[in-house]
Amino acid sequence: MLQPDRRPANATLVLLASLYCAQGLPSGLIAHSLPVLLRQQGVDLALIGLLKLLALPWLLKVLWAPWVDRLASPRLGHRRGWILPLQLGVIAVITGLALMEPARLFDSQFLLLVGLLLLVNLAASTQDIATDGLAVRLLPERWRGLGNSLQVGGYKIGMLVSGSGLLLMMDTLGWSLGLALVAALLVLMTVPIWRFAEKRELPFQPAQAEPAGPGLLWRHYRGLLMQPGMLVWLAVLVSFKLGDALGSPMIKPMLVDQGWSNTELGQLTLISSLAGIAGAVIGGLLYARIGALHALMGFGLLQAGGIAAMALLVSAGSNSLLVYAVALFEQAADGMSTVALFAVMMSRCRPEHEGADFTLQASVQLLLAGLVGATSGLLATWLGYEVLFVAAGALGVLALPVVLLYFRRELPVASVPR
């Protein structure tokens, strides 16, 4: 059984890292590699753009998340019963794609390709619910920062391997071997959850669960929203990353306007992504030492400073050293702030409601951030890049008093479910 504040065992850390890396592998394939491969085969840009709709299950998963928390496999357990079959399903689909002829998939069988990729995202997003619930239960409060370092870092590593890495190797390996490699890595990532003894480590507590009958969706989320302090916490959720959401979509367009090539942008993206992973690890370790309040306030201030500093590059794009310095700082700060936010989100989850509670919070944060990000192009056109980045940094600073208000109230977390 788990002990409060005790550092998680190495096997637990490996388990969580492998699960989140496994989520990043199909996401990188769909979001980064596939659009390039499709365009190389002459697929229309409009069709490639529509592939963004494949991400809908990640937005809509909040609708079925309560059932993932409630329904269990008698043999595999509460969460292994979801994670193992879904991950094996993703492996099966990607293996099937590897055996198909890419020229036909990108032409006459394009609808089949879209359907199979939609199944991959449906399975991966549902697995994410169970994985988040498992992570909340496995990690003591003090070490949730470190756990979310694994979440952010593992997911980004998976994205890099199947995104940038796969593109680099595709000319050598080809379609079949490239996708077979992704499937093989997913098989490797499945081993830790296969060996995890869930029934011994995390026994299900039916007294704290709700019946999985009609009305579960309403009862579940009403219970979460009625928790003490939840309205103030929702204000933190929707405001904490708004500045980053407003400014970050315009970083690459600004550099393109200053003459940066695709190769140069690719190298910058790769190196800054590694800085983001390092930031996530550092943020998780610091979270265990300084606590939630100081982590959110400090990392939030760094995040605001990083996005505001992009204004320095508006007329200095030819200074590669300055561009790299600002970009690496911004990505590291983003990784640290994301880890801190996710760790406190875990603290707001109720026993035996962890997966759906975390999912709702993440969906609220991502939905509003997505809407704000969608306006960034218009605002950059009207106001200019420099004003946009400064405004984004100011928006990040304005979120910090809301964080302070939440913690000054000394609000209880992880209350008994209603």
* 221-262: pLDDT as tens digits: 888 888 888 889 999 998 999 999 888 888 888 888 888 876
pLDDT for the residue 94: 94
**Other beta carbons within 10 Å of 324:** 15
DSSP H stretches of helix in 196-319: 198-201, 216-225, 230-240, 242-247, 251-257, 262-308
- Looking at residue 63, the DSSP 8-state letter turns out to be G
pLDDT band with cut points at 50, 70 and 90 for residue 417? very low
For every residue of 267-283, DSSP letters joined together read: HHHHHHHHHHHHHHHHH
| Phi–psi pair at 73, nearest 5 degrees | -90, 125
For CATH 1.20.1250.20, the residue range(s) in the chain are 10-197, 217-408
Q: Looking at the DSSP assignment, which residues form a beta bridge with residue 73?
A: 77
- Per-residue pLDDT, averaged over 157-175, amounts to 84
Determine the longest span between alpha carbons in the chain, in angstroms: 62
Q: Assign a CATH topology to domain 10-197.
A: Growth Hormone; Chain: A; (1.20.1250)
- CA–CA separation, 132 and 398 (whole Å): 29
Residue-level pLDDT at 74: 56
- Mean pLDDT is highest, among 77-86, 179-188, 407-416, for 179-188
**pLDDT score of 45 more than 80:** no
CA distance linking residue 229 with residue 128, whole number of Å: 26
Could you tell me the two tokens for 185? 């890595």
Of residues 413 and 147, more confidently modeled: 147
Which residue type sits at 10? N
As a whole number of angstroms, the distance between CA 69 and CA 57 comes to 17
Mean pLDDT of the chain: 84
Q: Answer yes or no: are the C-beta atoms of 145 and 286 closer than 8 Å.
A: yes
Distance CA 339, CA 345 (A): 10
Burial 177-187 (b: 16+ CB within 10 A, else e): ebbbbbbebbe
Q: Closest Cα partner for 292 from 403, 151, 368?
A: 403
Do residues 310 and 251 make contact, with C-beta atoms less than 8 angstroms apart? yes
- For position 123, what pLDDT does the model report? 94
CATH code for the domain defined by 217-408: 1.20.1250.20
Residue carrying the six token digits 């020229």? 103
Q: Is 327 left (phi over 0), alpha (psi -120 to 50) or beta?
A: alpha
pLDDT, one tens digit per residue, over 336-394 is 999 999 999 998 888 878 888 998 898 888 888 878 887 888 888 898 899 999 999 99
Query: Can you tell me whether residue 5 is helix, strand or coil?
Result: coil
77: phi then psi, degrees, rounded to nearest 5: 110, -175
Which of the pair, 401 or 210, is modelled with greater confidence? 401
pTM above 0.95, yes or no: no
Non-local (6+) Cβ contacts of 235 within 8 A are 402, 406
Query: Kind and range of the H or E element at 402?
Result: helix 400-408
